[in-house]
């Protein structure tokens, strides 16, 4: 199966080393990794189009939802997830922690009138989900790393799994 690996990992200082390890992990599980790093493009519009082509080619998406440059998942990853879902492709998300969003953000804000707010005063939704409901509801979520998600791909692709 062709798996598009979405996530901020392309920005890691060791991105090429990570990509080689991710490709090897996918191969061990019988899959072919499609990575944003596969694009030969260097300008933003070309990278965007190349990533969409890879998403179109993929059978499914595995998305790294770990916080990136803040408390939430990478915005580019969220766009890729939405695009894949709109195409009807299965998407599986993973993160080191699936603690509810409110618990993760409570340290940076105060409980006011029974509602929770972040450090800027914005209300934090409280559905007991680890991410905004637009990510947490449609995606099967795995607590762990890429390898953990790869172990779950087959189970999540079974009919009736919701994946």
Give pLDDT tens digits for 65-88: 999 998 899 999 999 999 999 999
Look at residue 112 and tell me if it is in a domain.
no
What pLDDT is attached to residue 69?
94
pLDDT in tens, 121-159: 788 888 999 999 999 999 999 999 999 999 998 777 665
Look at residue 122 and tell me if it is in a domain.
no
The region that residue 107 occupies, defined by phi over 0 for left and psi between -120 and 50 for alpha, beta otherwise, is alpha
- Structural domain of residue 71, as residue ranges? 2-99+130-156
pLDDT in tens, 21-65: 999 999 999 999 999 998 777 899 999 999 999 999 999 999 999
**Short-list 65, 45, 47, CA closest to 55:** 47
pTM: 0.91
CATH of the domain at 53: 3.40.50.450
Look at residue 124 and tell me if it is in a domain.
no
Structure-token pair, residue 127? 């559905």
Look at residue 28 and tell me if it is in a domain.
yes
Residue 16: pLDDT over 70: yes
Q: What is the DSSP string of 58-78?
A: -SEEEEE-S--SSSS--HHHH
CA-CA-CA-CA torsion sign (71, 76, 79, 80): negative
Residue 160: pLDDT over 60: no
Question: How many domains are there within the chain?
Answer: 1
């Amino acid at each position: 199966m062709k798996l598009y690996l979405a996530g901020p990992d392309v920005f890691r200082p060791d991105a090429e080393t990570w990509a080689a390890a991710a490709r090897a992990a996918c191969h061990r599980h019988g899959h072919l990794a499609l990575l944003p790093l596969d694009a030969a493009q260097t300008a933003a519009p070309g990278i965007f189009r190349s990533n969409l082509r890879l998403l179109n080619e993929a059978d499914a998406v595995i998305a790294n939802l770990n916080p990136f440059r803040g408390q939430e998942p990478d915005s580019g990853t969220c766009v890729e997830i939405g695009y894949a879902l709109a195409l009807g492709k299965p998407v599986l998300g993973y993160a080191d922690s699936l603690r509810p969003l409110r618990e993760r953000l409570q340290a940076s804000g105060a409980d006011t009138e029974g509602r929770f707010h972040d450090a800027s005063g914005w209300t934090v939704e409280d559905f007991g989900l680890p991410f905004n409901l637009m990510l947490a509801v449609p995606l099967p979520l795995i607590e762990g790393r890429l390898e953990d998600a790869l172990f779950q791909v087959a189970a999540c692709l079974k009919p009736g799994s919701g994946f």
